[in-house]
Chain A
Amino acid sequence: MKHLINRLIAIVALSLFPLVGQAQQYTGTSGLAHIPTGEMNHEGDALIGAHFLNKAMMPDTGFLYLGEKYHTFDYYLALTPFSWMEMSYVCTERRRAINEQTGQIQWSKDRYVSIKIQPLKEGKYYPAVAIGCNDVLTTVFFKDRPDVQLYYMNVYVAATKTFTFSGNELGMTVAYRRFLRGYNAKWNGIVGGITFRPSFFPQWRLMAEYTGNEFLLGTDVLLWQHLRLQASLKDFKYANVGLCLQFNLLGKKYRY
């Protein structure tokens, strides 16, 4: 009963707390909370943000303190230099115990670069298609070295189609994703999600997604054209939240 009440409170809180617009992931690139989409941010969009990552969202290895997973956060810079390309640079905070008796912490960061390319823009009868890769540089240079960790490395292809009715927007995404290293294999395979953007407040987006291993509910919003907020619940109980500042370097203004 207590868990049920907690979940209800969390869902109501999410509903009242408007979050991401066009997109915002913990990787800085466009997408839902945990899966990529075929959509792109606007050309010239620059994002600087941070995301609280629940330990349930973390890889099963590499992020352990005294043998247990922990909550952490990441921060990123992201840019859309062209309408068909996104790039982001992400640092995820890591800690481990130097001395297991005292628990003295050693801080470090896991860093990766993500690139996403959209070869096909959405048309009237066909979806937008994007391909992408997380941890690109390490993958290129060190993929044959098992001693080099690639906690977030994955490649994907995603397709998204949006439908508009009465000013509301419904988006459907299907993607295939594959992580190179085995410790994230639970998120491999077909993933997908649905988004809804109401006509009365199109900056607000609701989303539900399947990550390949669990379900996520999320919501996001773009406030004052520059502040993006995002929150999601994994398996209806593990919360993740993020925020970022967004600017369009070409000086253009978008509703979301």
Chain B
Amino acid sequence: MFHLNASPRRRSLIVGFFALIFLAGQPQAKGQDTSPGIDFFSGINFSFADMNFYRQYDVLLHLTPGFKWNMGHHWQLTGQAMIPIVNTFGDEYKYTQIGAFNISKEMRINKLYLKATVGVFDMYRYGADLKTFVTLSDNLAFEAQAGYVGVLYLDPSPHIYKPDRFVWTVGGDIYLPRWNTQFRGTVGRYLFRDFGWEAEAMRHFNHTTVSLYGRWSGVYGLDGGFRIVIMLPPYHRKHRAVNFRLASNYRMSYTIMYKNYANCMYHTDPEQNERDGWFSRDLLHWGSHTMEPDFIITNKSEQQ
């Protein structure tokens, strides 16, 4: 017997966390659309927690409208709001907040992939972030992330604190294409100044990824759980200069123990998930990106 806990995004480690996020269209044979255009999307962020003996679950439901402006050459401006709709978690969670508002650039130098992001992230953070990925073979890769961030609240009144926190993770990935299985391990220093590690085993299916993970934090101890990422239909989409769309993926994260502040890290992309990783599919052809793309995108002009 163990405990299910869920908490909203603000509390970094989510216990029973469902998220609907929405992805853009992709060019044909690609999983993501990085051709110039702007996408408006909306989803919901659903958190539930079994922390109350007097009702089945506490529920927190956010509407998460946002946009992504692909400016070409892998430059992207993105923004997202977190608007609470249903909240039985308490007054602390009744305020509208920014999920993301940042600009990013992806690039490739031989086998080195870089993504730099500046702006506002989730987890009430802002600052600068750099992600790197190095592919050594079709099966083996290294990854690292580093960020320098501060705290930012908008509602009920704006609060901005100077960046004071350097966070980082470094680790490796092993991908076994025969079984579409991926292992990921990282160590790092996290948002709440705890050192720790995380190991995850992912099984990629058609449009779905399921993973088991374990982690340890020097402050909060051992924990584990599972994650599910489901890429949502429609899988065939048309690309226009301006696109309005619904969810592309549904992400659920479950943790055994109620350790909200352990191994926390912000997300720079409102649609970030474990299946797609950090980089665009047309840039990085590794791991789940070598599988059939989730989304087949046709350009309107091509169709005509």
Contacts and interface: CB of A to CB of B under 8 A. Distances in A.
B1 A135 contact: yes
Contact of A44 (B3, B4, B205, B224): B205
Given A106-B54, A107-B53, A108-B53, A138 B210 contact: no
A111 interface: yes
Contacts of B226: 89
A91 interface: yes
Given A106-B53, A107-B53, A107-B55, A91 B208 contact: no
Contacts of A107: 53-56
A108 B4 CA distance: 10
Interface stretch (A11-19, A148-156, A222-230, A237-245): A148-156
Contact of B2 (A82, A98, A137, A249): A137
In the complex, which range does the number of interface residues on chain B fall in?
A: 20 to 34
Interface in A78-121: 79, 81-82, 89, 91, 98, 106-112
B208 A111 contact: no
Interface centre among A98, A108, A149 (most CB of B within 10 A): A108
A112 B1 contact: yes
Interface string A214-237: 000000000000000000000000
B74 interface: no
B2 A111 contact: yes
B11 interface: no
A67 interface: no
Interface string B235-255: 000000000000000000010
Contact of B208 (A108, A135, A249): A249
A82 B179 contact: yes
A151 B4 contact: no
A251 interface: yes
A141 B1 CA distance: 10
A79 B54 CA distance: 31
Contacts of A46: 208, 210
Interface string B42-68: 000000001001111000000000000
Interface in A53-99: 79, 81-82, 89, 91, 98
Contacts of B206: 249-251
Nearest to A85: B203
B256 interface: yes
- Number of contact residues on A: which range applies? 20 to 34
A82 B50 CA distance: 31
A111 B210 contact: no
Contacts of B254: 89
Contacts of A89: 226, 254
Nearest to A104: B54
B205 A149 contact: no
A109 B4 contact: yes
Interface string A107-145: 111111000000000000000000000010110000000
B143 to A, nearest CB: 23
B53 A111 contact: no
Interface in A8-35: none
A149 B3 CA distance: 12
Contacts of B203: 81-82
Contact of B1 (A44, A79, A110, A249): A110
Contacts of B4: 91, 109, 111
A44 B224 CA distance: 23
Contact of A150 (B1, B179, B208): B1
Contacts of A91: 4
Contacts of A251: 206
Contact of A81 (B56, B210, B256): B210
Nearest to B201: A81
A135 to B, nearest CB: 7
Contacts of A135: 1
Given A89-B226, A249-B205, A249-B206, A138 B2 contact: yes
Interface string B1-28: 1111000000000000000000000000
B1 A138 contact: yes
Interface of A: 44, 46, 79, 81-82, 89, 91, 98, 106-112, 135, 137-138, 148-151, 249-251
Given A82-B203, A89-B254, A107-B56, 7 more contacts: A91-B4, A111-B2, A135-B1, A148-B1, A150-B1, A151-B1, A250-B205
18 contacts: A44-B205, A79-B210, A81-B203, A81-B210, A89-B254, A106-B53, A106-B54, A107-B53, A107-B54, A108-B53, A110-B1, A111-B1, A111-B3, A112-B1, A137-B2, A138-B1, A150-B1, A249-B210
> Which 7 interchain pairs have the tightest Cβ spacing?
A249-B205, A106-B53, A81-B203, A249-B208, A251-B206, A110-B1, A138-B1
